[in-house]
Amino acid sequence: MYEDPDLLVLKKDEIKVNRNIKYLEIEIVKTIWDEWGFEKFSDRCKWLEELVICRCVEPMANINIQEWYEKTSLSLRKDSKIKELNKYDIYRGLDNLRNFEKSIQEHIYMKACETGKDNSIMYYDLTSSYFEGSTCIISRHGYSREHRADLKQIEIALLVTKEGIPYYWKVLSGNTQDVTTVEGMIKEIKERFGLKDCLFVFDRGMASETNLESIESCGYHYVTGLDIDEIRKLEEELKIIPEYMDEKTYDIDLAMYEYESGNEDGTILIRELEIENQRYVMSFDVSRFFSDRENRAKAIELVETWTQNKNEELKKSKKNRSKDKIERDIKSKIKKHKLTKIFKYSIEEMVDTTKKTPLTRYKINYEIDETEKREQGKFDGISCFIANKGKEKLPGSELIQLYRDKNKVEEAFQNMKSNIELRPIYLTREERVIAHVTVCVLAYLIMNDLQIKLKKKGLAISAEKFLKKMSTCHCNEIQIKNYSDTIKTITSLNDEQKSMLKQLELSYLAEQEYVEKFV
């Protein structure tokens, strides 16, 4: 008679599902975590792996991480280092994480080099992140990119490769000026990573003479831009922009100033200069030229309409109005639409003596300064980029594209703030705030790597949506009556899930053999 030791004949009431546990999205993220070799840091921060994976799939407060952990396949893994739950272990780990933040950065760099990642181009930028409630010692009021000037914040510096891999990040005081951070970052990168022949791309707000000299002294190249005031100064000295370009003849005007086509369709025109061994690339963007003109016209129309409506309101007023309040309103409106130098106004006071009690009314008189409007229009569509790498190695069109690609670091910040929920920050101790940022950066690294893998396989889906699709696949812990051990099975996959896993070469994660071996 045939006997199969795995064969059981049971009644329905003898089968019980003890737990239904988050599985597939957890294991996918853990696979990437393991590929980067971060396991080596788990002994130094007991909950590091769990904190990062949680940020990737279901961001939540650190205090809730243990409850989440119990509901995931991480708690079932035979190689788990979490032997007992202790909330203080999480905070001890965060306190200690700051001490090896640099080691993690150097590990990422070395791992990226081993796998042939391109580190010849680096993008650098800063962002701010605000606090709710109590704040930590390094939080300060400063320039808020999130329009929360009422709250204290920290600044976060971040350096990423062209693929978005973060090599360097640093938490700074909330009132740190961007321009003051570049020199220290460059010297630290040179010392710790020994980078050679690297090109740094950063925002025009950091393009100080000291910073550019610091980059050159370390043997590196840079691409950055000039702000409008610096372009104005350059134009005053060199006369390299037409006086004022008409929408119909701008191309003729620019040709007279030696601008040439910078791309195939002629929508970018460039002119190059070299001044004291520094390369200047003047750029005229046709699309931006027309949008700049259109936006200014719309802004003027909006402020004029607002002023006219305000005057109608003031004319009908039956009580005295505050002149200071009216002035604050008009100034705010003008500033919002960037018309401070174009929209000139005065507030006329008129006393109505026909009433028993004299009534003071006001009227806003205004005019458009056509001279200033023309002067600002002169720079419509114009940008200027500076670099210290020659034209033969970096053509002007490529240089401009590199600067435009600096949104890679901006995208990293946006990803951390939205999907990974970097902020708002509730922690108060400095070391824990710094650790929280490190956890979020590592989560971003994992999600960015997953996004790269999806793109390489031709899967047009975001990493977040991909993990959500995989989240329906759970691990089920089944208990059989009078049977001491539990059985682990996973939810059956649909065709779409099977196809995606196959393309990513991760089908093995859904096989029973894998579940029995690791979980």
Under the banding of pLDDT at 50, 70 and 90, the label for residue 93 is: confident
Q: What is the mean pLDDT of residues 361-376?
A: 94
Contacts for 127 with CB less than 8 Å, ≥ 6 apart: 145, 155, 156, 158, 413, 417
Q: What is the mean pLDDT of residues 175-196?
A: 88
Pairwise pLDDT comparison (39 vs 480), residue with the higher score:
39
Tell me: pLDDT of 64 over 90.
Answer: no
Only one residue has tokens 């630290």, namely 188
Q: What is the mean pLDDT of residues 168-176?
A: 85
Sign of CA dihedral 457, 462, 415, 99: negative
CA separation for the pair 247, 242 (Å, rounded)? 13
375-399 pLDDT, tens per residue?
Answer: 999 999 999 999 998 888 899 999 9
Task: Output the pLDDT for position 263.
Answer: 86
67-88 pLDDT, tens per residue?
Answer: 899 899 998 887 776 767 777 7
Which of 335, 68, 31, 388 shows the shortest CA–CA distance to 222? 388
pTM of the model: 0.85
pLDDT > 90: what percent of the chain?
56
**Summary mean pLDDT of the chain:** 88
Under the banding of pLDDT at 50, 70 and 90, the label for residue 481 is: low
Contacts for 248 with CB less than 8 Å, ≥ 6 apart: none
Task: Output the pLDDT for position 45.
Answer: 81
Pairwise pLDDT comparison (65 vs 4), residue with the higher score:
65
Tell me: pLDDT of 2 over 60.
Answer: no
Sign of CA dihedral 189, 193, 194, 199: negative
Tell me: pLDDT of 121 over 90.
Answer: yes
Helix orientation angle between 48-57 and 24-35, rounded to the nearest 10 degrees: 130
Q: What angle do CA 422, 426, 430 make, to 5 degrees?
A: 90
Under the banding of pLDDT at 50, 70 and 90, the label for residue 1 is: very low
CA separation for the pair 98, 138 (Å, rounded)? 14
Tell me: pLDDT of 452 over 90.
Answer: yes
Pair type for strands 166-173 and 153-161: antiparallel
Give the residue ranges of DSSP H helices in 378-429: 396-404, 407-418
Q: What is the mean pLDDT of residues 266-290?
A: 92
Tell me: pLDDT of 8 over 70.
Answer: no
Contacts for 94 with CB less than 8 Å, ≥ 6 apart: 45, 62, 431, 432, 435, 436
